[in-house]
Amino acid sequence: MSANRRLSLASLIFALGVFGASSQVAAQFGPPPPPPHAPHPRPTPESIAQGKTLFEGTCAVCHGIDGSGANGPNIREAATNLGPEGLYNTIYSGIFGSGMPTFSQLGEEKIWLLVNYVSSLGHEGAGMAFGDAKKGKEVYDANGCSTCHMVAGTGGDLGPDLTKIGAQRTADFLHDVLLDPGAHLPATDTALQERAGYPAYVMYRAVTANGKVVEGMRVDEDSFTIQLRDASGQLHSLRKLSLQKLEAEPGKSFMPSYKDKLSETQLNDLVAYISSLGGAQ
């Protein structure tokens, strides 16, 4: 083999090695996150309509005209699973190793239009109006929501911290939670990252050896003990083997339903305020 051929072969092997290493790094770390961008703008009927037009020309070929799937997957529940910020990141960066490309070239304004439209999928005809966030803050205060929820370091900690909830959940999801909170418990909680397989805020009912009933949310659990926080915030650490009974209470929550407590206008105002926290402006 001539010196030139050996040199060419070595160069090819080196190039393939670099390409392979680069592919492994890309596969491990995925696409870079988007750069800092404007916060999620509050959806309006106009922005959703604009997003629909953009979606039909950009995304429908893969995800179907109504988001139910075509060459790509069904994304009608994507907003519930990812939240507005997660949707923005996915649209901007794409999904490495799949057919989902980056759409960073659209710019943040058009990406947010797509986010607002995709967030509306599955809720067509639901009759939910866009509320007044300022009036919603009044509803929030009047109903004592800060007793259980914290916003920017102020409030209680019995329920989830709402400081950034607008970037994590869609308005329709929040509306549903207010109507039936026990049916929409978060899958994980920031305080339970090491136990991400457990739903957060699950209610349990325990009966001790002497017949005392303890009802509360599961805070922590291992093979031998369970820790429950009751409605007053008191923590109870219970040894499982000493209990007469320990049972989960699916669909139950300390948070009340506001279905018959607030008018639809008040509900929409409250949703608008909660959606504005860390998200829509």
pLDDT tens digit sequence for 65-84: 888 887 888 898 888 778 88
Task: Please provide the average confidence, as pLDDT, over all residues in the chain.
Answer: 82
Same fold flag, 45-120 and 133-185+255-275? yes
> Which pLDDT band, with edges at 50, 70 and 90, does 156 fall under?
very high
What number does CATH give the domain 45-120?
1.10.760.10
3-class SS of residue 72: coil
Q: What is the pLDDT of residues 270-279, one digit of tens each?
A: 998 998 887 5
Cβ-based neighbours of 36, under 8 Å, separated by 6 or more: none
CATH number of the 133-185+255-275 domain: 1.10.760.10
| pLDDT band for position 28 (cuts 50, 70, 90) | very low
Give me the residue spans of the domains in the chain.
45-120, 133-185+255-275, 190-248
- Residue 207's DSSP bridge partners are 213, 245
Topology, domain 190-248: SH3 type barrels. (2.30.30)
Helix (H) or strand (E) holding 151: strand 150-151
Give every CB contact of residue 97 below 8 A, 6+ residues apart in sequence.
27
| Entry pTM | 0.60
DSSP label of 213: E
pLDDT for position 224? 95
